[in-house]
Amino acid sequence: MRLLTSEQLPETIVLDGEDLVIQGENLDVLPRLPDGAFDVIYIDPPFNTGRPQRRRTLATAPHADGDRIGFGGRRYRSELLQALAFEDAFGDYLGYLAPRLEQARRLLAEHGTLYFHIDYREAHYCKLLLDELFGRDCFLNEIIWAYDYGAKPRTRWPAKHDTILVYVRTPGAHHFDAEAVDREPYMAPGLVTPEKAARGKRPTDVWWHTIVPTNSAEKTGYPTQKPEGIVRRMVTASSRQGGWVLDFFAGSGTLGAVARRLDRRYVLIDANAEAIDVMVRRLGGGEAAAARG
């Protein structure tokens, strides 16, 4: 993996087989990438919630005057190890997204697929924008990622899903490997043969998958980190081994972690220095950190 900063960017970025993490404003970087280079573009842009997104990482240790009380009345003291945050508010959200999505369409291969991960509050507006930029005939799926974690308000149905809008570059020409995708248990295994029950079923457009668990090895502490399991499903289905994948709101670098395990090449772009630090630790180790310094 090679790390590039905005000062190091060439006018034209050549994809020569080396994975790239790029620190810079994505709209400055995207025009430098070659046409039709990517099998999959996955983006998880800020959701325009109107408030900063924060993630705090705490460690606890037994302490007589601690600020937390645990099992059996034992007291613990907490220490803030890391605090990450980014702003998530735009005056003109669609105006912000449109030129970036125009670049995404240019960068997709003829067989390529865009996975656009968005909050339920913005999904319907974003679909209209994508219909305009890609064409309604390029709309492939609306995937619902459902989970059950977090607050449960008592004045409305708890919102426990995100929307992933799926568009292809060329209708009917997109790559999709249904057999390579991980399979799920049948909800009513008694209604199918034992052979089918043992094999499981192909996922539908509703994906039940937990968020990244607090004690998970993949947890980075980055706000809004998405689980590898849902990204792996997209990459497996819609890209070929050795193909290139792109995320230009890369955050914690989940697409890169998945691509590396699936023998795909990746380009990750983010302007946030904290995101770059997380990606370097997750994907690059010492060499990339030294290159940045």
Alpha-helical regions (H) of 162-227: 194-199
**What's the CA angle centered on 146, arms 253 and 100, to 5 degrees?**
45
- Specify the pLDDT at position 73: 60
DSSP label at residue 251: T
- The residue ranking higher by pLDDT, 177 or 284, is 177
pTM for this structure? Answer: 0.82
Q: What is the 3-state composition of the chain as percent helix, strand, coil, each rounded to the nearest 5?
A: 30, 25, 40
Q: Which pair of structure tokens corresponds to residue 170?
A: 């060329």
User: Residues 261-286: what's their mean pLDDT?
Assistant: 91
pLDDT greater than 50 at residue 89: no
Interval 243-254: pLDDT, tens = 999 999 999 999
Domain with CATH 3.40.50.150 in the chain: 2-52+89-292
- Specify the pLDDT at position 120: 86
Q: Which of 128, 200, 119, 214 is nearest to 160 (CA)?
A: 119
pLDDT greater than 70 at residue 18: yes
CB 113 within 8 A of CB 175: yes
SS3 string of 117-170?
EECCCCHHHHHHHHHHHHCHHHEEEEEEEECCCCCCCCCCCCCCEEEEEEEECC
Q: How many CA atoms lie within 13 A of 251 on its CB side?
A: 28
CATH class of 2-52+89-292: alpha beta
In the chain, how many H helices and how many E strands?
A: 8, 12
- Specify the pLDDT at position 291: 44
- The rounded percent of the chain whose pLDDT value lies above 90 is 69
CB 75 within 8 A of CB 69: yes
- Specify the pLDDT at position 41: 98
Indicate the pLDDT class of residue 17, thresholds 50, 70 and 90: confident
User: Residues 219-236: what's their mean pLDDT?
Assistant: 91
Classify residue 141 by burial, with Cβ atoms within 10 Å: 0-12, 13-18, 19+: middle
- Specify the pLDDT at position 214: 76
- Specify the pLDDT at position 211: 87
User: Residues 97-126: what's their mean pLDDT?
Assistant: 95
pLDDT greater than 70 at residue 235: yes
- Taking the C-alpha atoms of residue 184 and residue 154, their distance in angstroms, rounded to an integer, is 31
User: Residues 141-166: what's their mean pLDDT?
Assistant: 92
- The residue ranking higher by pLDDT, 70 or 110, is 110
- The rounded percent of the chain whose pLDDT value lies above 70 is 82
pLDDT greater than 90 at residue 53: no
User: Residues 169-177: what's their mean pLDDT?
Assistant: 97
- Specify the pLDDT at position 51: 43
- Specify the pLDDT at position 60: 55
pLDDT greater than 80 at residue 54: no
C-alpha distances in Å from residue 282, one per residue of 81, 264, 277, 288 = 17, 17, 9, 11
Q: Tokens 């302490």 belong to which residue?
A: 63
In which element (H, E) is residue 278 found?
A: helix 273-279
- Specify the pLDDT at position 66: 60
SS3 string of 75-109?
EEEEEEEEEEEECCCCCCHHHHHHHHHHHHHHHEE
Of 47-51, 90-94, 236-240, 284-288, the least confident: 47-51
Q: Which of 237, 236, 235 is nearest to 246 (CA)?
A: 235
Size of the chain in residues:
293
Q: Tokens 């709209």 belong to which residue?
A: 27
Q: Tokens 């007589």 belong to which residue?
A: 64
- Specify the pLDDT at position 64: 64
CB 37 within 8 A of CB 15: yes
pLDDT greater than 60 at residue 290: no
